[in-house]
């Protein structure tokens, strides 16, 4: 279905969701391990139609995956840094090369191409400053076409969430 001039991208998908679908998404987002029986009870449905709705939400792409959220401190990965990356040029080849290399870097948790004074914003998680320095010098800085980087080390994490707001209507 084509978007009308007053309709934002993605709105047509959102309109497919009724109140029960939205409640399912909110509940699963806060507890992906909730049993179908408990979920059905919380939304006042019997288990079979509840499971059918969850399967439909998965199939339609509203639910991308179910994951365990690990404690970085327990895994010696509690230093978070944000890096602004500028490229010499933004040709398709340079962008594709940067993307391909960054996708293989285990320390990189997030990488976003941005508009503004630099080209990419990267979130990196390492064990300590020495590990970060090695990452920067031996991995990131060796990528072709990088002209500069600026690093911001997180002193305190105030809020971290993977939750997406599920609108009421």
Q: What is the 3-state secondary structure (H, E, C) of 72-102?
A: HHHHCCCEEEEEEEEECCCCHHHHHHHHHHH
Cα separation, 138 vs 34, in Å, equals: 43
pTM: 0.82
Average pLDDT, stretch 107-121? 98
Mean pLDDT for all residues in the chain: 92
Contacts with 6 (C-beta within 8 Å, 6 or more apart), sequence order: none
- Give me the phi and psi of 66, to 5 degrees please: -120, 130
Q: Is the pLDDT of residue 147 over 90?
A: yes
Average pLDDT, stretch 104-110? 98
Res 9: pLDDT: 54
122 pairs with which residues across the strands? 83, 111
Average pLDDT, stretch 56-74? 95
Average pLDDT, stretch 31-48? 97
Cα separation, 101 vs 142, in Å, equals: 10
Domains of the chain: 11-59 (1.10.10.10), 72-153 (3.30.70.920)
């Amino acid at each position: 279905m084509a978007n009308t001039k007053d309709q934002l991208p993605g709105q047509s998908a959102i309109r497919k969701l009724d109140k029960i679908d939205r409640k399912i998404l909110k509940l699963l987002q806060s507890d992906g391990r909730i049993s179908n029986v408990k979920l059905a009870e919380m939304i006042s449905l019997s288990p079979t139609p509840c499971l059918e709705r969850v399967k439909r939400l998965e199939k339609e792409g509203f639910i991308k995956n179910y994951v365990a959220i690990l404690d970085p401190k327990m895994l010696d990965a509690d230093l978070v840094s944000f890096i602004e990356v500028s490229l010499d040029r933004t040709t398709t080849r340079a962008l594709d090369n940067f993307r391909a290399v960054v996708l293989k870097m285990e320390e990189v948790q997030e990488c976003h191409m941005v508009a503004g004074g630099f080209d990419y914003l990267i979130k990196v998680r390492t064990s300590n400053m020495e590990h970060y320095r090695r990452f920067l010098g031996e991995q990131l800085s060796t990528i072709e076409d990088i002209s500069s980087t600026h690093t911001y080390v997180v002193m305190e994490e105030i809020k971290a969430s993977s939750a997406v707001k599920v609108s009421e209507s």
